[in-house]
Structure 1
Amino acid sequence: MLSVIVPAHDEAALIGATLDALQRAAGALRLDHEVIVVDDASTDATAAIAAARGARVLRVEHRHIAATRNAGAAAATCDRLLFLDADTLVDATVLAAALAAMENGAVGGGCSVRLAGRVRWFERAFTAALMQVFRRVKIAPGCFLFCTRAAFDAVGGFDQRWYAGEDVAMSRALAAHGRFVILREAVLTSDRKLRTFRLHEHLRLLWRFLRGGRGILRSREVLELWYERRDRG
């Protein structure tokens, strides 16, 4: 009934909790589902942790989020797809809402996002405001994006020209194809980009975006916030 696709690169610290939360949610709904963890060039125990929790592990060497998501979709066997980030916790409420949306004719959609961890009040406020913008313009945050298999195939999957922003491109493609919804229900996702990258690094990326436009999202080298691994407490 539902294929859950989890792209993962060196996610040993977080993927266990993500898969445990997903299993609890699916169990509460008695949901027939499969979980595919697309292990993209991990050097840690990501694959072993996923396999121990019953996920099907697909190994790729892309280091390219759009290609990794598409690889998971190609391996999926169900007619409904959910793309879930490895640092994102779902519950039965948001999972049920996504399934109901597709049952009622939506081709796809996303949901609201809350940040986990030591998040300051203004960071929470900014995230909440950003979610309102996303709802208005029909953009699904990439940590939780769902669609029917028919719609995924019709739009050609995730656009592999993008190393970031592929969720925006996919949202727009799906919205052009049919009814695309942003649920009021929320998932809880990691605050690690706030924790592991300093303010000046976020501002530098913003400046590059303002100067270079969307074209910088086609360069993996520019996108440290997505592709550079860094551990800070």
Structure 2
Amino acid sequence: MWSFIVPAHDEAPLLGATLDALHAAARDAGFDYECVVVDDASTDATAEVARAHGARVVSVAFRHIAATRNAGAAASTGERLCFVDADTLVNAALLRAANAALDAGAAGGGCAVRLSGNVAWPVRAFTALLMQAFRWTHVTPGCFVFCTRAAFHATGGFDESYYAAEDVVFSRALARIGRIAILREAVHTSDRKLRTFGVLDHFRLMLRFALGGRRVLRSRDALALWYARRRH
């Protein structure tokens, strides 16, 4: 069985569409599956939306994406795990490809990412180049990460010393125990970070990371791109 784990903080506006897409894709792919939404200290109707769209809700108060993902894995029951962001739409072709990759012996993997919305062509071109770099370096974009439960436990799960880039750290850990599959099939994910934070905000974050290295990722303080309120 597949367990789809969706970490969510104040995701009521987008979560329903994400869950509807997951249900449709999993049924079309012929999977036995469950959807687990990890409601992390939401102040809106995230939990109600999740239940209305056929998900089981796990409530936590971490405001810490790695810990939230791990809580979802602990509460799930499937032998194949898939972590899906609450603003991300999957399809059956992608799920079939992920299932085939695990059948072929991969420990886990990710997929290509396309941004939804009115995104300027330079940003789309940069995203495409970034996806190719991820494929070359076996890095899994965090909006869609899949693995076997055995591989998840072998890595120790998502490293909770990180408040961001936990997906990169996790994919590196997966690569140490087995093969990583970066699928050419794609998910569509929201462009809301681009609408909420400008070029200057992204530049400041890159500068902080260049000066401070990984320690910048070990606190929420400089990570507004992940932890500040976003525009839906």
Aligned twin of 1:53: 53
Return the offset for 1:231: 2.9
DSSP-derived class of the 1:210 partner = helix
Return the offset for 1:214: 1.6
Aligned twin of 1:228: 228
Return the offset for 1:219: 1.1
Q: Distance in 2 between matches of 1:10 and 1:204?
A: 25
DSSP-derived class of the 1:211 partner = helix
DSSP-derived class of the 2:13 partner = coil
TM-score by length of 1: 0.98
Could you say what the CA RMSD is over the residues aligned between the two structures, in angstroms? Answer: 0.8
Q: Distance in 1 between matches of 2:223 and 2:133?
A: 23
Q: Distance in 2 between matches of 1:13 and 1:146?
A: 25
Aligned twin of 1:120: 120
DSSP-derived class of the 2:62 partner = coil
Aligned twin of 1:85: 85
**One-letter code of the match for 1:195?**
R
Aligned twin of 1:191: 191
Return the offset for 1:82: 0.2
**One-letter code of the match for 2:31?**
L
Query: Aligned residues: percent identity?
Result: 66
TM-score by length of 2: 0.99
Return the offset for 1:24: 0.9
DSSP-derived class of the 2:97 partner = helix
Return the offset for 1:230: 3.4
Q: Distance in 2 between matches of 1:145 and 1:156?
A: 15
The within-5 A match list for 1:21-100 is 21-100=21-100
Aligned twin of 1:161: 161
Q: Distance in 1 between matches of 2:206 and 2:119?
A: 20
* Structure 1 unmatched runs, 5+: none
Runs of 4+ in 1 over 4 A off after TM superposition: none
* Structure 2 unmatched runs, 5+: none
Q: Alignment length, in residue pairs?
A: 232
Q: After superposition, give the CA deviation of every residue in 1:18-74 in whole Å (9 maximum; x if it has no partner).
A: 001111101112210000000000000111011011100000000000000000000
